[in-house]
């Protein structure tokens, strides 16, 4: 029987592990398919406090894991397939094994949608990115033409943010009007540095041979015309969703699937807590996920203490 099981090994998961480990609760971290979480997919992280020169995303996550393990946290490379939160202790099925837990911290993160076009995967971290706040300020994007793909609020936010860095921002959208809220759409289109490219889809990211983004191939969806648009970066903002499918029917979520914490980090099930991007569609940063992991650990520790009184 585990006192604390943490589902997910990103910033939220490992921070929750650090705090619960230091509280002598010997947490078990089920890492899922992506040990270290999303940050391991990026090169340099420049906005995590404490690293004035920036830090490699993979190295940061390795350090978080080591720090938690130093105090007794344990990692298991399990992908949780099923949970039963109807009664305590809770039951989890991970890779065919059953794990029983007195408390659970859900830290399963969120996934962004991909374009699914040639060049996208190979040029990820070499100019293709999914987060303007994270990567927009990198030197390779400064004073360069950039492409943002999408037409919703996120795409507009990303495009507006990038006007601080890029020389011009091409906003590529499949339709001839933005899906974003009226005020956001107006603000975006009034910005002289943002140039909409209507009715168009990116069909390929160039140039894999040069090992960096130099342009995108576009197709006009109304006329079928193809063209090439030079750019140094492609910011994909066509949506993202939380990894919360396995909790359906057991943990209350909003319409968009993100878990809604009740008091602090508590979910609708006492003893099950949530932290990080799976409960946050607004900030989606490493530091906010880590902060939430800390809060969930403290909440779980206090919950266990109250049960044992
Ligand atoms: C390319 C890129 C660059 C970024 N750069 C920055 C940056 O510079 N600065 C910044 O602050 N933020 C950055 N971010 C955002 C940051 O990575 C996230 O906000 C942060 O990783 C969220 O942490 P998390 O722990 O909530 O989730 P994640 O890091 O997404 O971790 C989720 C974890 O849950 C696990 N999991 C999922 N489902 C299951 C399951 N069923 N069973 C077991 N485990 C499961 C996964 O394997 C993973 O370990 C970047 C994101 C991307 C994509």
Residues 222 and 197: beta-carbon distance below 8 Å: no
| 244 Cβ closer than 6 Å to some ligand 1 atom | no
Ligand 1 atom closest to the Cα of residue 287 is 11
Residue whose pair of structure tokens reads 């040029």 in the numeric block: 123
Cis peptide before 207 (omega within 30 of 0): yes
Catalytic, 131? Answer yes
**Could you read off the pLDDT tens digit of each residue along the chain, which spans 309 residues?**
999 999 999 999 999 999 999 999 999 999 998 999 999 877 788 899 999 999 999 999 999 999 999 999 999 998 999 999 999 999 999 988 999 999 999 999 999 889 999 999 999 989 999 989 889 999 999 999 999 999 998 899 899 999 999 999 999 999 999 988 898 899 999 999 999 999 999 999 999 999 999 999 999 999 999 999 999 999 999 988 899 999 999 999 998 899 999 889 999 999 999 999 999 988 989 999 999 999 999 999 999 999 985
Q: If you measure from the C-alpha of residue 189 to the centroid of ligand 1, how many angstroms do you get, rounded to a whole number?
A: 31
pLDDT for the residue numbered 309: 58
* Residue whose C-alpha is closest to residue 270's, from 250, 292, 294, 248: 250
CA–centroid distance, residue 135 to ligand 1 (Å): 15
Task: Check pocket membership of 15 for ligand 1, CB cut-off 6 A.
Answer: no
Whether 287 lines ligand 1, by a CB cut-off of 6 Å, is yes
Q: Which atom of ligand 1 is nearest to the CA of 34?
A: 47
Residue 280 a catalytic site member: no
Residue 135 designated active-site: yes
Residue in 134, 231, 278, 294 annotated catalytic: 134
Q: Is residue 11 in contact with ligand 1, taking CB distance under 6 Å?
A: yes
- For the whole model, what pTM was predicted? 0.82
Q: Do 208 and 122 form a contact (C-beta atoms < 8 A)?
A: yes
129 lines ligand 1 (CB under 6 A): yes
Say which of 56, 84, 131, 280 is annotated catalytic.
131
Output the residue whose Cα is nearest ligand 1's atom 30: 109
Looking at ligand 1, which residue's alpha carbon is closest to its atom 15?
285
**From the CB of residue 63, how many other CB atoms can be counted at a distance below 10 Å?**
14
Residue with tokens 């094994």: 97
Q: Is 47 near ligand 1, meaning CB less than 6 Å away? A: yes
Residue 293 CA to ligand 1 center (angstroms) comes to 12
Closest ligand 1 atom to the C-alpha of 36?
Answer: 49
Q: Is the CB of 99 under 6 A from ligand 1?
A: no
Alpha carbon distance 129, 135 (integer Å): 7
CB of 274 closer than 6 angstroms to any ligand 1 atom:
no
Task: Tell me if 10 CB under 6 Å of ligand 1.
Answer: yes
Work out which ligand 1 atom sits closest to the CA atom of 38: 29
Catalytic choice (135, 277, 280, 299): 135
């Amino acid at each position: 029987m585990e006192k604390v099981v943490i589902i997910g090994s990103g910033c939220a998961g490992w921070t929750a592990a650090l705090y619960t480990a230091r509280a002598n609760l010997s947490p078990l971290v089920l890492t899922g398919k992506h040990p270290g979480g999303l940050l391991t997919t990026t090169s340099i992280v420049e906005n995590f406090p404490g690293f004035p020169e920036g830090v490699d995303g993979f190295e940061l996550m390795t350090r978080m894991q080591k720090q938690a393990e130093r105090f007794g946290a344990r990692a298991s490379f399990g992908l949780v397939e099923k949970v039963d939160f109807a009664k305590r202790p809770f039951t989890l099925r991970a890779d065919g094994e059953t794990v029983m837990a007195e408390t659970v911290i859900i830290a399963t993160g969120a996934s962004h949608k991909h374009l699914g076009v040639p060049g996208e995967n190979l040029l990820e971290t070499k100019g293709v990115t999914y987060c303007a706040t994270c990567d927009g300020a990198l030197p390779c994007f400064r004073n360069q033409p950039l492409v943002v793909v999408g037409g919703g609020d996120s795409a507009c936010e990303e495009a507006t943010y990038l006007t601080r860095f890029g020389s011009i921002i091409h906003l590529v959208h499949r339709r001839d009007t933005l899906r974003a809220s009226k005020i956001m759409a107006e603000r975006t289109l009034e910005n002289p540095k943002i140039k909409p490219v209507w009715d168009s889809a990116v069909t390929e990211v160039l140039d894999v041979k040069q090992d960096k983004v130099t342009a995108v191939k576009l197709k006009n969806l109304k006329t079928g015309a193809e063209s090439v648009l030079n750019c140094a970066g492609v910011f994909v903002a066509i949506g993202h969703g939380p990894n919360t499918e396995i909790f359906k029917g057991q943990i209350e979520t909003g319409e968009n699937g993100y878990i809604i914490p009740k008091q602090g980090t508590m979910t609708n099930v006492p003893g099950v807590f949530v932290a990080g991007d799976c409960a946050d569609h607004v900030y989606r940063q490493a530091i906010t996920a880590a902060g939430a992991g800390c809060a969930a650990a403290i909440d779980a520790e206090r919950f266990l203490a109250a049960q044992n009184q």
